[in-house]
């Protein structure tokens, strides 16, 4: 039997999701201010927020297949919230790099983007994320019509670009980025399979 989410339980689910999204940021502040961020706190913050953005991205991609499996359509209403956390963590990640590592040197930032391919890939992913975040409002969605869905399919491109950015940024520890490639590859394959299945059912 399909499960049902009332608007009250959806509200509390969203409150929980905000809690899950905000707790790692509070933890990061406490870790840094208590001096527990290791020998290189700047690198620690850049890595922590980058991984936070990637984990939130994986969660965003998980919502649709889980909603389908549990027949919980209302769960899809949480996608915007989780998607905005991807954007928030990615913004913190870039701000940390720009302010703490490059000390607000714009020229150096543009040099990094043009000279280091992994930074360029990250920047493209971020620009796409920015486009999705500013068009995530219902009013914009209505105005854009079919173009909205086409633009928001950009999440799949982001899901490929971010693990590439991660893989390229590491020197030797490649196991973690490869693991993310597999997880995201599997989630994208599930989507292709589900949309083919749906098309097949509609064609019948």
Tell me which residues touch ligand HEM (CB under 6 A).
46-47, 50-51, 53-54, 57, 86, 90, 93-94, 97, 119, 122-123, 125-126, 129, 162, 165-166, 169-170
The candidate with the shortest Cα–Cα distance to 55, out of 88, 10, 104, 99, is 88
- Minimum distance, C-beta of residue 10 to ligand HEM, in the bound complex (Å): 26
Q: Which tokens is 156 given?
A: 């799949």
Q: Name the residue nearer to ligand HEM (CB basis): 5 or 59.
A: 59
- Minimum distance, C-beta of residue 11 to ligand HEM, in the bound complex (Å): 27
Q: Report the alpha-carbon distance of residue 6 to residue 3 in Å, rounded.
A: 10
For the chain, helix (H) and strand (E) counts, in that order, are 9, 0
- Minimum distance, C-beta of residue 19 to ligand HEM, in the bound complex (Å): 21
Q: Name the residue nearer to ligand HEM (CB basis): 72 or 168.
A: 168
Q: Report the alpha-carbon distance of residue 96 to residue 20 in Å, rounded.
A: 21
Q: Name the residue nearer to ligand HEM (CB basis): 15 or 22.
A: 22
Q: Name the residue nearer to ligand HEM (CB basis): 133 or 144.
A: 133
Specify the residue for token string 């997880």. 183
Q: Name the residue nearer to ligand HEM (CB basis): 5 or 79.
A: 79
- Minimum distance, C-beta of residue 187 to ligand HEM, in the bound complex (Å): 15
Q: Name the residue nearer to ligand HEM (CB basis): 79 or 165.
A: 165
Query: How buried is 179 (Cβ within 10 angstroms: 0-12 exposed, 13-18 middle, 19+ buried)?
Result: exposed
Phi, psi of 111 (to 5 degrees): -60, -45
Q: Which residues of 91-119 are buried (b: 16+ CB within 10 A; e: fewer)?
A: bbbbebbbeeeeeeeeeebeebeeeeeeb
């Amino acid at each position: 039997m399909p499960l049902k989410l009332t608007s009250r339980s959806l509200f509390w689910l969203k409150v929980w999701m905000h809690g899950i999204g905000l707790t790692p940021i509070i933890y990061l502040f406490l870790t840094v201010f208590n001096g527990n961020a290791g020998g290189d706190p700047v690198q620690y913050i850049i890595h922590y927020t980058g991984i936070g953005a990637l984990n939130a991205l994986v969660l965003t991609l998980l919502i649709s297949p889980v909603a389908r499996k549990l027949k919980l359509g209302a769960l899809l209403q949480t996608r915007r919230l989780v998607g905005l956390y991807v954007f928030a963590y990615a913004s913190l990640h870039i701000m940390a790099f720009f302010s703490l590592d490059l000390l607000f040197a714009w020229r150096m930032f543009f040099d990094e983007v043009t000279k280091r391919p992994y930074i360029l890939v990250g920047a493209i992913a971020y620009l796409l994320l920015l486009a999705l975040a500013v068009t995530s409002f219902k009013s914009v969605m209505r105005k854009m019509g079919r173009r909205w869905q086409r633009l928001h399919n950009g999440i799949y491109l982001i899901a490929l670009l971010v693990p590439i950015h991660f893989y390229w940024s590491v020197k030797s520890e490649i196991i973690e980025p490869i693991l993310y490639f597999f997880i995201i590859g599997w989630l994208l394959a599930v989507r292709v399979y589900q949309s083919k299945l749906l098309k097949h059912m509609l064609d019948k």
